[in-house]
A and B are shown apart, each in its own frame.
Chain A
Amino acid sequence: MSTHTEVISPGGGTASSAVGAHTNAVHNILTIGKRELAAYFSSPLAYVFIVIFLLLSGFFTFNVGGFFERGEASLAAFFVWHPWLYLFLVPAVGMRLWSEERRLGTIELLLTMPVTAWQTIVGKFAASWLFLGIALALTFPLVFTVNHLGDPDLGMVFCGYLGSLLMAGAYLAVSCFTSAMTRSQVVSFIVSVVICLFLILAGWPPVTKELGWAPAWMLDLVSSFSVMPHFESFQRGVIDSRDLAFFLSVIAFSLFTTGVIIRSHRAG
């Protein structure tokens, strides 16, 4: 290694400490997020995911959902499949978030950098969510199609997309948390599919019937975990603060748990 001599200052290389702590946090989150997003697009995962997502949405919307037969200018036939599509596709995106870091050992680099654990968690989550958002945005030809065929309520279309994005975020936060639990991506995938399935089915009559013995408050509690009523209310074109709060609290809770798990893992 070449000769290089120079005076070393005590805080060597940290001249930017003049920059406020706040902008520093944002900068760190952006740096981590950018790297994560680049990691998606530098692997085949991104392209495979997008192609499969578009193919499957197309297939379900047109061949199964009867988009044309419905005779209405709306995207209902498209959105109705999303809880199920995401059930498998979102954990496939989220499973590598932390498992990969642990498998490669780069988590040791990341967590010994002058960044906080929550900055890395938020940065990674935001990047994956943005990726899912990009995939979702690529379904835009459908909007043109309905616009061409009829006169859809664009506000309702917007609500549909927003609800879908929020649900993807909730699933993603769950996979982020299962991914922090294990260095095996397969285990992470399976566990998050199961948890997301619970989130879909929690309020479903066959499930609540099974819990017929339980007191009413418990039934309510279980069904209040269900994403379906919240998702459906977005599909009706309503933005209710309670629905927003539901999705955001699932995300916040899962990310918080991710932080706890990462900390406890380091504790050995």
Chain B
Amino acid sequence: MIKVDNLVKAFGPKLAVNGVSFTVERGEVLGFLGPNGAGKSTTMRMITGFIPPTAGQVTVGGFDILEKPIPAKRLIGYLPENAPAYADMTVYGFLNFAAELRGLRGEEKRQAVHRAVDMCFLEAVIHQSVDTLSKGYRHRTCFAQSVLHNPPILIMDEPTDGLDPNQKHEVRTLIRRMGEKKAIVFSTHILEEVDAACTRAIIIDRGQIVANGTPRELRQRSEYAGAVAVRVQGVAGSVVTQKLRELSTVRRSAVVSEEAGSVVVRAFPQPNPRNGELEHSVYDLAVREHWRLLELRTEEGRLDEVFRSITLPDTARGNKEVAS
């Protein structure tokens, strides 16, 4: 549905987006991650046809966004960053206005507005003027505007920004459910949302894609991915670490925490481990040594850690490693 090909955007001498390519099909929810100023919003603005790219091509539902902007824009629902809305209108007036520009008339329009109001829990503020709304409600109003015409493609720039925890949860659920039948791209700074809603995630840094995969694949890029952590009672951390290190399946091991008589130690696998091999050997070791094993768990890797290791500037990463 969305095809982005080698997109470049220069602001003066500065490349905000530098050669970004990806595709999103119906049934996919693509999470767009990246540090501040990475170029997420700029990319979305080019996809929705708000700003033209310096180079590259965007095709939406088969229509080139520059050559056939109107049919392409009809397919898109867009929630811009900061959820802009006309301050002088009521929520109802604003949604009606959006519905009319979307080409909805009469009964069809009434139903679309009603459905969007329902979906975003806006009944309570429907006749309130937009400039008197709280930030979260203004955000929801703009969200409602984007799903009003039930578009097959949704582009959302930080859809959960400014929402309370319950609403954040609702929005994630909604995105995941809508994603079964639509093509959705949304950006976020909240990494749990990637797990909660995305089928795929892209990490973008300084205008370039630095990672692209399912949340699971991304997590596996973490150095903790596949490591086994054990919690053992009544044995010194150094002993556990030493014994673990002697196993042939273990590359290295380290104490994570040691308190109140119980110690947590992490064992890292050798490159390309066979499935379950590390877990089995660690368990067997604990049985052999008569350790009181309170917990044994395989780590999946953490997204925040992957994110940090990929997007931190090289100098900062260097400093951190020196410090630790």
Contacts and interface: CB of A to CB of B under 8 A. Distances in A.
Interface of A: 1-17, 19, 24, 27-28, 31-32, 35, 38-39, 42-43, 104-106, 108-109, 111-116, 266-268
Contacts of A112: 48-50, 73, 76, 78, 80
Residue from the set B88, B112, B145 with the largest chain A CB neighbour count within 10 Å: B88
B150 A114 contact: no
Nearest to A7: B181
B210 interface: no
The 7 A-B pairs with the shortest beta carbon distances in the complex, nearest first, are A13-B149, A105-B84, A12-B150, A16-B103, A114-B73, A1-B170, A31-B100
A8 B102 contact: no
Nearest to A19: B103
B277 interface: no
Nearest to A24: B103
A31 to B, nearest CB: 4
Contacts of B88: 38-39, 42-43
Contacts, number: 129
B51 A104 contact: no
Contacts of B45: 108
Given A4-B118, A35-B86, A13 B104 contact: yes
Given A2-B121, A104-B86, A106-B84, A266 B115 contact: no
Contact of B84 (A5, A24, A104): A104
B70 interface: yes
B30 interface: no
Interface residues of B, number: 58
Given A12-B150, A13-B151, A112-B78, 7 more contacts: A4-B119, A7-B181, A8-B150, A14-B102, A38-B93, A108-B50, A109-B84
Interface of B: 9-12, 45, 48-52, 61, 69-71, 73-76, 78, 80, 82, 84-89, 93, 97-98, 100-105, 108, 112, 115, 118-121, 142, 145, 148-152, 167, 170-171, 173-174, 177, 181-182
Contacts of B97: 31, 35
B151 A108 contact: no
Contacts of A12: 149-152
A19 B74 CA distance: 14
Contacts of A114: 70-71, 73-74, 101-103
A104 B120 CA distance: 22
Nearest to A13: B149
A113 B73 contact: yes
A39 to B, nearest CB: 5
Contact of A267 (B51, B104, B142): B51
